[in-house]
Amino acid sequence: MMTRIPIPVVATHDLRRGQGPIIKRGTPGEVTGVTGAVPGHYTVTFWPFGAAGTTVVVDHLTRLDLKDA
């Protein structure tokens, strides 16, 4: 069985996907999925309203959209 290790990241620029809220540059998040294709794409859960607020999941992000937290 594989253990999930969270990878903390932050947005490197403002992100907007569909009708969801804008994820502002510097918003903290956690990588929750990676595609197996090359180049890889990431699914990230962001906390745009703080840790106690609503989460927003954004997929199909590249390494240029994220940096290590």
Amino acid at 4: R
Residue-range domain boundaries for the chain: 7-68
Instruction: Please report the pLDDT score of residue 54 as a whole number.
Output: 87
The arithmetic mean of pLDDT across residues 59-63, rounded, is 92
Q: What is the pLDDT of residue 3?
A: 54
Best CATH choice for the domain 7-68 from the list 3.40.630, 2.40.50, 2.30.30, 1.10.3470: 2.30.30
Q: Look at residue 13 in the predicted model and tell me its pLDDT.
A: 97
Which DSSP string do the residues of 13-28 spell out, in sequence order? Answer: S-B--TTSPPB-TT-E
Residue 61 near residue 12, CB atoms below 8 Å: no
* Locus of tokens 């994220």: 66
Handedness of CA 2, 63, 42, 52 (dihedral sign): positive
Q: What is the dihedral of CA 19, 46, 12, 67, to 10 degrees?
A: -150
Instruction: Dump pLDDT digits (tens) for 9-58.
Output: 999 999 988 788 899 999 999 999 988 778 889 999 999 888 788 899 99
pLDDT, position 19: 83
Per-residue pLDDT at 58: 93
